[in-house]
Amino acid sequence: MLRDVLCLVLLLYILALFARSLLSWFPAIRSGAAASIGGFLVQITDPVLKPVRGVVKPVRMGNAMLDLSSLIVVLGFIIVRNLICS
């Protein structure tokens, strides 16, 4: 029972990280429901992403910078979820 709840919470957090990554590609959305959802996603994912960003610096790709912290955190959560839920 507790394991099932933990597996669900981990899955929802992974989905929140994916959603935040997708919304970060559309920074022009500043009002309405998308902005509210984006703000909520930032609030729940920043406590995990900020420490990783402090260690892993963005990678320069031409004129753009690629932030790998989301990818690293998602992979870590997927590994933890697979270990717990299998």
Count of structural domains, the chain: 1
The C-alpha angle with vertex 73 and arms to 69 and 77, in degrees rounded to 5, equals 170
Q: Which residue has the higher pLDDT, 29 or 45?
A: 45
Reported pTM: 0.86
Give residue 48's pLDDT.
96
- Of the candidates 64, 67, 76, the one whose C-alpha atom is nearest the C-alpha of residue 13 is 76
Structural domain span for residue 8: 2-85
Mean pLDDT for 43-67 is 93
Nearest-angstrom CA–CA distance, 36 and 24:
13
Residues comprising the chain, all counted: 86
What b/e readout covers 47-68, taking b as 16+ CB neighbours within 10 angstroms? ebbeebbeeeeeeeeeeeeebe
Distance from C-alpha of 30 to C-alpha of 53, rounded to nearest angstrom: 24
